[in-house]
Amino acid sequence: MAIEKITIEQFLSLSKQHPVFDVRSPSEFLHAHIPSAYNLPLFNDEERKIIGTTYKQQSRQQAIKLGLDYFGVKMRNMVEEAESLIVDHCSSAKNMLPTNTEQRTTNNVLIHCWRGGMRSAALAWLLDLYGYKVYTLAGGYKGFRNWVLKQFSKHYSFKILGGYTGSGKTILLEELQHSGMQIINLEALAKHKGSAFGAIGERPQPSQEMFENLLAVELGKNAACFGEGLERAYSWLEDESQRIGKLYIPKKIWEQMRKSPVYFIDIPFEQRLDYIIETYGKLEKEDLINAIIRIQKKLGGLEAKNAINYLLEDNIESCFSILLKYYDKCYSKALYNRINPENLLNKIPAPSVSKKNISLLLSDTENKNNTLSSSGHISAN
């Protein structure tokens, strides 16, 4: 079967069904990669370094010969590893299908390297020889990155889920998804809950590049790119600052978020405090103290000291009350620091933190959609 070189759009479409093999070195893959790709490196980090040095100091031909020395002894192992990864991929895909749905082992594989050059060509030749239908990515990972950056220049239609800290916004975002709505969970992509305490209990954050890759793929699912003849639809995002932990939402996406309607779940302070205590109260005191120290300049020396002392005395409620008031003040400032916030903000009163608030949210959204259709803008409550 002939090896086919395809565009990034074709590649991403096929990747929804078939396994993607990234043949770059482990460190390249670890830094950032196409989401869902498997790393099947042609060379390890040290081998890649030696080949690169040979290419620069001797010649392209010598580098190729050295690469063949490394690749030749690995060929059988790479075929067997590819087979194993394909089985795992198909097994995972089957688990996502409805019960009693059959999923055959695929005979199609997608391969890419950095620029669509010799590394991907080598594995493509080997797997083609073995009997797989092989597709390679024109432009390689570099081409994918160009596609990623283009996604941030498109126009999207967002709805922003707002609310003070402890309003259960993540719960509602998940309920929106269960209700069939398109969402983009920025905190899940960033592996951070968005405050000084947001990294506690989370896995390490991805690189900025990997975060952008993940976000671009999610944006690609959004059916609201204006000017492309697609049906108008919305994606829900949680109201965030531009920085999430050490990562930054791309500027053009952030600017669109700041111009989008905000649906603010307005829950009383005491109910939010109870939710925060339940959510964060069982965390290690040392982690909480370190987080308080990180914001002590903004919190104020006395308030930071009081919060830490309350924590050491096991007075979690008083400690978190100080912190919640601080975050309420910060969020309120950011909430209204928009152009024409009165035309974007829609407050939705709710008695407590609950999944049931989804009905209040969707009811209010439907009303605002009707207002938007008739008047061309959304009125604030």
113 is a catalytic site residue:
yes
Beta bridge partners of residue 321, listed in sequence order: none
Q: How many CB atoms are located within 10 Å of the residue 15 CB?
A: 18
- The tokens of 281 are what? 């109260």
Residue from 113, 225, 319, 330 carrying the catalytic annotation: 113
The helix (run of H) or strand (run of E) holding residue 238 is: strand 235-238
Q: How far apart are CA 279 and CA 10, in angstroms?
A: 43
3-state SS assignment for residue 74? coil
Q: What angle do CA 182, 186, 192 make, to 5 degrees?
A: 145
Q: How far apart are CA 378 and CA 368, in angstroms?
A: 6
Pick left, alpha or beta for residue 360 (phi over 0 → left; psi -120 to 50 → alpha; otherwise beta): alpha
Q: How far apart are CA 358 and CA 352, in angstroms?
A: 12
Half-sphere exposure at residue 89, Cβ-oriented, CA atoms within 13 angstroms: 23
Q: Which residues are the active-site residues? A: 113
